[in-house]
Structure 1
Amino acid sequence: MADTLLAMEKIQKQFGKVSALNEACFHLKKGEIHALLGANGAGKSTLMKILSGVYEHDGGHIVLDGKELRFKSPKAAKEQGIFCVYQEVDTAIVPELSVAENIMLDTFASGRNLFISKKQLNKRAKEVLLELQSAHISVKKQALELTLAEKQIMLIARALVHSAKIIIFDEPTAPLSVHEAERLFSVMKKLKDQGVGCIFISHRLPEVFEICDRVTVMREGKTVSAQDTASTTQDRIVEDMLGAAFTNELGQHDKKIGEILLKVSSITDGNKLHDVSFSVREGEIVGIVGLVGAGKTELAKTLFGITPAKQGQIELHEKIAKVRHPGDAIKEGLVLVPEERRKEGLFIYESLRINATFPNLRKFTKGLFMHKPSETAFADKIIKSLQIKTNNTETPLVHLSGGNQQKVAIGKWTSLDSSVYLFDEPTKGVDIGAKVDIFKLIRQISEKGKGVIYFSSEIHEILGISDRILVMYDGKIVKEFSRSEATQEKILLYASGGKEEHHEREKYPVSV
């Protein structure tokens, strides 16, 4: 194609014995906004890291402006006009420097124009911000004074100053408000008009249909489709991303679901969460599913009192529970296994025994002293019941695998007779064997009449473990499914901000 700016053909990448990319392809035209989509682990990040010089490809070809290239470093990619704007903008800026100095940073790094005056520096920075319709950003301000949205504009300005041909936008709207996202889209359209090729990575399908000309979908390291957004639908994109439906790993289990145990009414945290309401019954596992940034972790932390609710109420056993602190939550019968187990759920350098008994020290205390035999006996019980791979209760957790650490993070709460268990991404970073053990443990907890809330972005896991499923998007619960109603396609559609399309007329949801 005459207007092709970039062609990545049959790209291969191995990490040890694992194939991350298997003949993946991606094409970008000049002046095009092109979405790159795929579920977690599809290979899109690896492909973009190859394009931006973080990794070298093992096989295949990269052709930019008709010339075959291989990027051995991010600096080499930038020299060819390839720049990235990441969700975590703070990793790419120097906060103490001015806006102008940050915009011109790559000029200093290249060794060119080392003696440019501050007046010239500010003038060039102002010119490029004006091009981006962002002249309101003062070039003399320190970068640390800017909002997230303004920092993103500053990084785009840095790319333009150095004649960017391609800008990769990796989840750029995740931390932005609707108004800030609209401003970013306006800037992207300006870049498009200037002939810059934009690659847009996002989990939010309405944004893809609003801003992108074409969409490429990856799955399991391969490119499975590439088409114009005008000629496809959200449902088809979801189908391409997921492939054949996963089977429910746990299958159906007959068990008794009792009375309402937990009732959450109109919870708002003043930041991410907006008017969240739901209930959990005795013996029920409620799956709360959403993509990154949907508000799942914020909801888990609010229910556990880490970030108390500004509005709304929590009822346990038909009584209002005042949860202003995790200590309050534990007394009320709520416990949390957090997503970041190493930072928030465990004393990683202490022994398995100390971690296992910490939540319920009174149970293992005689007078003023800890009763070590009782501690050891309980830790031994956890090791056996959860099949933790260690034969010593004194083993520091840092020496255990991620899956075994997670088993300890869950098992430690079993010394308390809690009513509701909150699990935030409990299988993150663990192997399939540990996942099955964790699923079994969660199922056993529910079979004892306890309530379980399982927060996850892994849709097939939610389908496998849950009795009822709630979908979160942008800090709200947007859809509820029974286990029999839920499918991967429906969940992903709502989790991406879409709505089911009716056959009478096709429509493309737009964020407003």
Structure 2
Amino acid sequence: MTGSILQMRNISMDFPGVKALSNVDFTATSGSIHALVGANGAGKSTLMKVLAGANDHYQGQMLLEGKSVSIQSPADSQALGIQIVYQEVDSALIPPLTVVENIMLQETVQKSSNKLWINWKEVHRQAAKHLQKLNISISTKRKVNSLTLAEKQMVLLARAMSTKCKFLILDEPTAPLSNRETDELFTIMRALKNDGVGIIFISHRIPEILEICDEITVLRNGKVVKESNMGNLQAEEIVESMLGQKLETQFPPLNHHLDEIVLSVDSISDHFIQDVSLEVKAGEVVGIAGLVGAGKTELCKALFGCSHITKGDIAINGAHVRISSPYRAVKLGLALVPEERRKEGINLYESASVNLTASSLHSLTNIFHFIDRKAERRKAEEMIQQLGIKITTSNTSVHTLSGGNQQKIAIGKWLVAEADIYIFDEPTKGVDVGAKKDIFQLITALANRGKAIIYASAELSEIVGLTNKVYVMYDGTIVKELETAKTTEEEILFYSTGGTNNESRDSSSKQSKTSLSL
């Protein structure tokens, strides 16, 4: 592939009441991995959607090899060899269809639209070839809705590479991946780079950017504030460019928790988790640590009544309870902020007002059981101000907001509802360092008010910085309980990877790596 240069010049874009992009210049070159970073709402995804043809109401100019090109639709972008793998994989795939149908979508729908028959044997062969190139072992006959998040992302990557891809945009690709899967993705990215593909890499994980990228562009408030080769660039420089200020201590202090046990779980099991026992006291933040696939999400959902618990016992404030459904969980004072906020935590195409009050409608209805819209809007606006949500009005649709602001709304609805036990499943996934700090402050404030907190995360630095104690999960069960003040990320990682007390923790920690909070 001959060298290519893709330029975006003076790109500006407005949404109602918001200047999303302001005279942005951006250049990508073939055979290079270019990091595009910024805080949530900085304009990264908006800029890349312009390049991918999803945002057509922009001002500015596009150049490929110095020649002006027009990108007004995804078809225009793809015709120029530009492909994008979106962060929210389910919105880009067709879940009921098979892997082959999703990978070869362009081949079977666009190119075969004037044909009566499709040679499915050949289509399967081509799809398998693209998967094999990426070193991905997934049957082409499987339904996409049966895949894991990581597998779905690989299907999207295979679809992108099934075309003549010159430039590949990866939007938060490592968010759902384990350390091993991230390493495999980076191996694929390096191979594509060596083949002359230009890669634009969007990530909030600064250590990954330092490891894999050649160049970096930093956006803040819709403007470019830094362009540089990676060279000897330090993580602190990148973060300070993103935030426009020095990064202070991320983790606020926790008060001493009470001795009162709020939640007690004794040997519960379901179709995935086995014999899990734990307890959470009032004012305590309890970490659930583990790698992707360890069972953290399954445990969180089981406690919230999303799966059928086949054995074991749960007690709240000393009283034995049966949590048969999420409705029952809410009635018992539990709240869940799920990992997949766009699928399970918020109503994307409803307003911020509707989302923030969704869990507390009983307190906002009149004697005739109609919702008091004024009271709803007033409560939503109070929460928007309290959480610092960047939004035009409370009537703004949530799908237009950045990931960090969406996550604040997913948390905010439970603050309005005043739960007693809060379960956070990967709450900082896909949010920037500034929004992370805001979320840590929210969680700490809840604990300091006496709430019981479960904090499930694969980000071990967050577990160490935020929690009082930690339960480590591996293969669906808890393998170790540790006091946070007396442990390290290395020890937690050791047990997360299946280590036992009889093994050397030093050798295990050298075989794996942790994702830093930055």
TM-score range, shorter chain: 0.5 to 0.7
Does residue 194 (structure 1) correspond to residue 179 (structure 2)? The answer is no
Does residue 59 (structure 1) correspond to residue 59 (structure 2)? The answer is yes
Residues 191-270 of structure 1: matches in 2 within 5 Å? 191-244=192-245, 260=260, 262=262
Residues 123-142 of structure 1: matches in 2 within 5 Å? 123-134=125-136, 136-139=137-140
**Quick one: which amino acid aligns to residue 80 of structure 1?**
L
Aligned residues: 420
Distance 1:443 1:131, change over 3 A: closer
Residue 63 of structure 1: how far off its partner (Å): 1.7
Residue 195 of structure 1: how far off its partner (Å): 0.7
Distance 1:122 1:37, change over 3 A: same
Residue 159 of structure 1: how far off its partner (Å): 2.6
* Alignment match, 2:458: 474
Distance 1:287 1:155, change over 3 A: same
Distance 1:23 1:119, change over 3 A: same
Does residue 107 (structure 1) correspond to residue 92 (structure 2)? The answer is no
* Alignment match, 1:81: 81
CA contact (8 A) 1:36 1:216 kept: yes
* Alignment match, 2:504: none
Does residue 170 (structure 1) correspond to residue 171 (structure 2)? The answer is yes
**Quick one: which amino acid aligns to residue 76 of structure 2?**
A
Task: Give the whole-Å Cα distance in 2 for the aligned partners of 1:266 and 1:38.
Answer: 43
SS in 2 for 1:84: strand
**Quick one: which amino acid aligns to residue 227 of structure 2?**
A
Residue 68 of structure 1: how far off its partner (Å): 2.0
CA contact (8 A) 1:10 1:25 kept: yes
Task: Give the whole-Å Cα distance in 2 for the aligned partners of 1:109 and 1:186.
Answer: 31
Between 1:15-24 and 1:210-219, the stretch displaced more is: 210-219
* Alignment match, 2:441: 463
Residues 310-459 of structure 1: matches in 2 within 5 Å? 319=318, 324-325=323-324, 334-336=333-335, 340=345, 357=362, 394=368, 396-397=370-371, 403-404=377-378, 457=428, 458=435, 459=437
Q: Deviations over 1:57-107 (max 9, x none)?
A: 532222223222231111111111111122443443445655444433213
**Quick one: which amino acid aligns to residue 335 of structure 2?**
L
CA contact (8 A) 2:102 2:159 kept: yes
Task: Give the whole-Å Cα distance in 2 for the aligned partners of 1:429 and 1:276.
Answer: 39
Task: Give the whole-Å Cα distance in 2 for the aligned partners of 1:288 and 1:401.
Answer: 36
SS in 2 for 1:478: helix
Task: Give the whole-Å Cα distance in 2 for the aligned partners of 1:460 and 1:163.
Answer: 42
CA contact (8 A) 1:85 1:170 kept: yes
SS in 2 for 1:223: strand
Task: Give the whole-Å Cα distance in 1 for the aligned partners of 2:443 and 2:88.
Answer: 32
CA contact (8 A) 2:63 2:69 kept: yes
Q: Deviations over 1:380-435 (max 9, x none)?
A: xx68xxxxxxxx65474495697557599x9xxxxxxxxxxxxxx98878778999
Report the identity percentage: 32
Q: Deviations over 1:195-231 (max 9, x none)?
A: 1111222233333233222232222112222333442
Residue 4 of structure 1: how far off its partner (Å): 5.9
Q: What are the ranges of 5 or more consecutive residues in structure 2 without an aligned counterpart?
A: 396-407, 429-434, 468-488, 494-511
Q: Deviations over 1:436-490 (max 9, x none)?
A: 9x99x96997xxxx968596654336437844699864276523359xxxxxxxx
Task: Give the whole-Å Cα distance in 1 for the aligned partners of 2:302 and 2:229.
Answer: 41
Task: Give the whole-Å Cα distance in 2 for the aligned partners of 1:9 and 1:276.
Answer: 57
Distance 1:285 1:153, change over 3 A: closer
Residue 47 of structure 1: how far off its partner (Å): 0.7
Task: Give the whole-Å Cα distance in 1 for the aligned partners of 2:85 and 2:393.
Answer: 33
Residue 20 of structure 1: how far off its partner (Å): 0.8
CA contact (8 A) 1:99 1:143 kept: yes
Task: Give the whole-Å Cα distance in 2 for the aligned partners of 1:131 and 1:225.
Answer: 35
SS in 2 for 1:158: helix
Distance 1:287 1:54, change over 3 A: farther
Residues 482-497 of structure 1: matches in 2 within 5 Å? none
Distance 1:190 1:305, change over 3 A: same
* Alignment match, 2:401: none
Distance 1:238 1:12, change over 3 A: same
Distance 1:239 1:100, change over 3 A: same
Task: Give the whole-Å Cα distance in 2 for the aligned partners of 1:207 and 1:229.
Answer: 12
CA contact (8 A) 2:275 2:312 kept: no
**Quick one: which amino acid aligns to residue 9 of structure 1?**
R
Residue 285 of structure 1: how far off its partner (Å): 9.4
CA contact (8 A) 1:217 1:223 kept: yes
* Alignment match, 1:365: none
CA contact (8 A) 2:85 2:160 kept: no
Between 1:97-106 and 1:49-58, the stretch displaced more is: 97-106
CA contact (8 A) 1:43 1:220 kept: yes
* Alignment match, 2:181: 180
Residue 14 of structure 1: how far off its partner (Å): 0.4
Task: Give the whole-Å Cα distance in 2 for the aligned partners of 1:72 and 1:264.
Answer: 56
Q: Point out the structure with max Rg over C-alpha.
A: 1
SS in 1 for 2:464: strand
SS in 2 for 1:53: coil
RMSD, matched Cα:
5.5
Distance 1:316 1:118, change over 3 A: closer
Distance 1:138 1:336, change over 3 A: closer
Residue 39 of structure 1: how far off its partner (Å): 2.1
**Quick one: which amino acid aligns to residue 465 of structure 2?**
E
Between 1:111-120 and 1:188-197, the stretch displaced more is: 111-120
**Quick one: which amino acid aligns to residue 220 of structure 2?**
R
SS in 1 for 2:6: strand
Distance 1:246 1:396, change over 3 A: farther
CA contact (8 A) 1:264 1:315 kept: yes
Distance 1:299 1:15, change over 3 A: farther
Distance 1:405 1:269, change over 3 A: farther
Q: What are the ranges of 5 or more consecutive residues in structure 1 without an aligned counterpart?
A: 358-378, 384-391, 411-424, 483-493, 499-508
Task: Give the whole-Å Cα distance in 2 for the aligned partners of 1:128 and 1:256.
Answer: 54
SS in 1 for 2:8: strand
CA contact (8 A) 2:83 2:169 kept: yes
Task: Give the whole-Å Cα distance in 2 for the aligned partners of 1:34 and 1:226.
Answer: 10
CA contact (8 A) 1:272 1:475 kept: no
SS in 2 for 1:21: strand
TM-score by length of 1: 0.62
